[in-house]
Amino acid sequence: MTHVEGLAWRRYQGHGRISFAAVLDDGEQAPTAWARFNPPPPSSVQMFGDPACADFVLAIEPRTRHGDVHPPADLPFWFRWLIRTLSVPAAVRNLAAEELGLSTAADPPDRVGVFFSTPRALTELVDVGDHPRVPGSHISQRFTAGAVADPDGQDAAATTREWIMQLCDRDLPLDGYEHTLLTLGA
């Protein structure tokens, strides 16, 4: 959804060994993406949070190859995109262990969250196609969802279908989208 030709990751902000950040940009225009990695703090500077946890935050601004705002994408696109999102915690854990030499464990379990935000309405990101809105409903500017890893839990497709259902029921209030939901990932 975000074209990266001519863009490069470069350091941005950050605080020494406490927090590392980077932006994906061309050095002239607003960043297309932003990422921050906060390793577990040393016990001598620990004030809040879990000393066994690291945080990785990735923010993406959907853009075309010309730098324009990307047009809205349909529900199947967002299903594929959100499924890939669920693989990020494992990739970050592997990066921390293999590239940074940090010890990692399954306790606490991996967590992932997604947050969509638009200036006016989520239909700026999501093309609802022919699905009618629930009469009298309001389209939200934001969508949030999250999951915690559980070896005995549901698979990524089921979690993503639940997220799409939340998006359609709560934030876009759509009517009659259930058939599309059943075909996602099939």
Strand, coil or helix: 7: coil
pLDDT of residue 47: 46
Cβ atoms of 143 and 165 closer than 8 Å: no
* More confident of the two residues 92 and 175: 175
Query: Per-residue pLDDT for 129 more than 90?
Result: yes
Mean pLDDT of 123-143: 93
* More confident of the two residues 59 and 168: 168
Query: Per-residue pLDDT for 1 more than 50?
Result: no
How many Å apart are CA 135 and CA 131, to the nearest integer? 12
Query: Per-residue pLDDT for 138 more than 80?
Result: yes
- Token digits of residue 142: 């934001």
Place of tokens 């004030």: 47
N- to C-terminal Cα separation, the chain = 22
Is the CA virtual torsion 166, 121, 125, 115 positive or negative?
negative
User: Residue 72 is which amino acid?
Assistant: P
pTM of the complete model: 0.74
Peptide bond just before 108 cis, omega within 30 deg: yes
* More confident of the two residues 28 and 163: 163
Query: Per-residue pLDDT for 79 more than 90?
Result: yes
Query: What are phi and psi for residue 139, nearest 5 degrees?
Result: -85, 130
